[in-house]
Amino acid sequence: MHFRRHTAVGPAAPRTSLSQTAALKNPATLPLGSDAARWDATERPAAEGAAPEGLASPPPERIRNIAIIAHVDHGKTTLVDHLLRQSGTFRSNEAVEERYMDSMDLERERGITISAKNASFTYKGVKVNIVDTPGHSDFGGEVERVLDMVDGAVLLVDASEGPLPQTRFVLKKALEQKLKLIVCINKIDRPDARINEVHDDIFSLFIDLGATDEQADFETIYTIAREGKSTLDPAQPGESLELLFDWIVQKLPAPQADPHGSLQLLVANIDYNDYVGRLAIGRIRAGSLRVGDEVLVIQADGRRSERVRALYGYKAGRQVPVEALGAGDIAVVAGIEDIQIGDTLTAVHDPRPLPRIHVDEPTVAIMISVNDGPFAGRETKKVTARHIKERLEREKLQNVAIRVEDTAFTDTWKVVGRGELQLCILLEQMRREGYEVLVSKPQVVLRDEDGRKMEPMESVVIDVEEAYLGAVTAKLGERKGVMTHLTNRGSGRVRAEFRVPARGLIGYRSEFLTDTRGTGLLNTHFDGYEAYKGEFSARSTGALVADRMGRATPYSLHNLEDRGRLFIPFNTEVYEGMIIGEHSKGSDLNVNVTREKKLTNVRASGSDEAVRLSPVQPLTLEAAMEWITEEELLEITPGHIRIRCRQLEPGRRPKR
């Protein structure tokens, strides 16, 4: 795991005053976010409630393990940022970047959380382990497994958008785990906030999901995460998150852990360290764990004994080495090769295995194969079957929501995931790591139940202007979608809910943005299996296919603009069978994009006018994956994303 180095700037941090030293005797009197509170969190000597027997963990009753769960872009990571800042985790003169928990480059670029991450802070003598979870439904496997590490959760909901598909998903999983929940309505300062309606929507969602009376009687707090404020009265925003801190400590339960029992730890996440190898992350259900301990690893296919070479706990978002951790705390264990998510670490003399983690089955599959195109190997050496297979196997070990299957061909693998975005993130990570592959069109995973063909369904929530509702409804109807709910807010926008076959949404998002002029919002969530709905029409347009190798010239591209939409700018290298644009008609068209203007000795007025090409929108990985058909492939290299025909030679391609 890579962490960003934080450097101190400005004057040295002030020393602890006498009054603060006196306050340390009573942690409850420490000012929120003070340096004294930080000193109390990390350096307070052994006293009442201190960690027993040299453990780096406090007793279970002084631990809170919580998750922040919500739909994408509702403010989870921003809220965690301010919780860490105001708890005194960082020095007063320490420079900390925004969205501290989003450590991956892709997360910062896209503004979403992709993988769950742990952090820790201490408030009023209570250690709080906090997990920031992904908000997109494609990364739901992360949410399912991290909920096993926590005892309570903060359900975050946008004050304007209200509950969305991923809100339903994470809430359902939390209710199934019988977690204690605090409902937090965020962004109450939005001009279009509808706080009372959103609160009613949340209550209705609890009832729809079969919550018990105790679960449905939830308590609500209101926040402006961007400014680090919380309140019980939306009309009067608070000055800090102190109220939320108090609720976390007072209203969420301590872990039900046995400090004196036989060791039990269920591996809920996997990480890697260049120095100590694979890291197993999980909560200690019982007993304690020390460096050098011999533990029994119980896996799906057997058991073996291993020794703990290193042990880490969390301080802020960093892993810090410790000698021992106790029951209820979240531990990072090093020294165990081939450890997998769902394995149990337990005592050798008294083994007590825990049930393995179960996550919902993946629903979308792609075929990844070795690049056999003319430009293969130009940009990287990671092009062989061995390189690609090792990378896919490594991803399978780290991500329980990804499945990798061998095929009849030694250079092709079937990769199954939760959705297009999850698979695109995997491919983008591979591309940045220097891999080069060919990728097929995504296909849904069908089931056979009692002789009936079943297909995955998606719950789709759209938020559009009234004028565009008809076009969206018609397009989803063509894809066998059925409207289940319609709400008109009276503000010129409507919210509609549909049930659509998952295969009907492949390639639809770009059409949706076109139909709504870029103003529509579309969110989806897996919603079970239903009987196969039958065939429907695929892409109605054809492709412009290069018929020879060379460089695209402005003269040729200018003459092709009337034929359709171009994907490449001039001077791009092309090869036979490479797709350079979208044909406006339903057939494929072989074109020569390398042709140059013939020069003669005769010059006429107006014949040498400069060629002006229309701007070409760069082809993104998601857009390209949605656009291709079964007879086309995506060529992904570290420097390029190309679309090509499956068969490069024109005579071997099926006619369209």
The per-residue pLDDT for range 213-252, each reduced to its tens digit, is 888 888 899 999 888 888 998 888 888 888 998 999 999 9
- CATH code: domain 447-531 is 3.30.70.240
Query: Residue 481 CB: number of other CB atoms within 10 A?
Result: 22
CATH 2.40.50.250 placement within the chain? 542-652
Residue 164 pLDDT > 90: no
Give 371's pLDDT tier (boundaries 50, 70, 90): very high
Instruction: Return the pLDDT at 608.
Output: 53
Structure tokens at 217: 């009687």
> Which residue's structure tokens are 């939390």?
174
- To which CATH superfamily is domain 364-444 assigned? Elongation Factor G (Translational Gtpase), domain 3 (3.30.70.870)
- Residues forming CATH 3.30.70.240 domain(s) in the chain: 447-531
C-beta of residue 366 within 8 angstroms of C-beta of residue 424: no
Lowest mean pLDDT: which of 212-216, 484-488, 527-531, 601-605? Answer: 601-605
Mean per-residue pLDDT for 165-193?
85
Is the CATH number of domain 542-652 2.40.50.140? no
User: β-pairing, 310-315 with 318-321?
Assistant: antiparallel
In terms of Cα–Cα distance, which of 599, 579, 598, 601 is closest to 589?
A: 579
Residue scoring higher pLDDT (263 or 22): 263
593-650 tens-digit pLDDT: 998 887 766 665 455 567 788 888 878 888 888 888 889 999 999 999 999 999 998 8
pLDDT at 401 over 70: yes
18 pLDDT band, cuts 50/70/90, is very low
- Domain over 264-347 is classified CATH 2.40.30.10: yes
Find out whether 164 and 171 touch, Cβ atoms under 8 Å.
Answer: no
Most confident of 43-47, 302-306, 447-451, 640-644: 640-644
Q: Answer yes or no: are the C-beta atoms of 187 and 75 closer than 8 Å.
A: yes
Helix (H, G, I), strand (E, B) or coil at 206: helix
Residue 79 tokens, joined: 């809220």
Q: Rounded to an integer, what distance in angstroms lies between the CA atom of residue 10 and that of residue 33?
A: 18
Rounded to whole angstroms, how far apart are CA atoms 478 and 483?
A: 12
36 by DSSP, 3-state: which?
A: helix
- Going by C-alpha positions, the residue among 395, 387, 434, 440 that lies closest to residue 414 is 440
Residue 360 to residues 284, 354, 402, 568, 608, Cα–Cα distance (Å): 24, 19, 11, 39, 63
Measure the CA–CA gap between 253 and 152, rounded to whole angstroms.
7
**Which positions ≥6 away from 618 have C-beta within 8 Å?**
none
Question: Would the pLDDT of 285 be above 80?
Answer: yes
From residue 323, how far is each of 162, 266, 289 by CA, in Å?
Answer: 45, 20, 9
Cα–Cα dist 465/513, whole Å? 12
Determine the Cα–Cα distance for residues 333 and 336; give it in Å rounded to an integer: 8
Residue-level pLDDT at 75: 75
CATH 3.40.50.300 in the chain: give the residue spans: 29-251
**Band of the pLDDT at 297, cuts 50, 70, 90?**
very high
Q: Identify whether the C-beta of residue 595 lies closer than 8 Å to the C-beta of residue 655.
A: no
In sequence order, which residues have a C-beta less than 8 Å from that of residue 492 and are 6 or more positions away? Answer: 465, 466
Give the confidence band of 72 by pLDDT, cuts at 50, 70, 90. low
- Residues 269-282 have a mean pLDDT of 80
To 5 degrees, how large is the angle CA 305–CA 339–CA 311? 75
Percent of the chain with pLDDT over 90: 20
- Tokens, residue 310: 């290193």
Number of H helices, E strands in the chain: 16, 35
- Domain ranges in the chain with CATH number 3.30.70.870: 364-444
419 CB neighbour count, 10 Å cutoff: 25
The owner of tokens 């609890």 is 206
**573-574 and 550-551 as β-strands: parallel, antiparallel, unpaired?**
antiparallel
- Give the model confidence (pLDDT) of 418-460 as tens digits: 778 888 888 988 999 999 999 999 988 888 888 889 998 888 8
Tell whether the model's pLDDT for residue 389 goes beyond 90.
yes
Residues 29-251: name the CATH superfamily.
P-loop containing nucleotide triphosphate hydrolases (3.40.50.300)
Residues in the chain: 656
Do residues 67 and 283 touch, judged by C-beta distance below 8 A?
no
CA-closest candidate to residue 284, choices 335, 351, 331, 349: 331
Give the whole-angstrom CA distance, residue 583 versus residue 565.
7
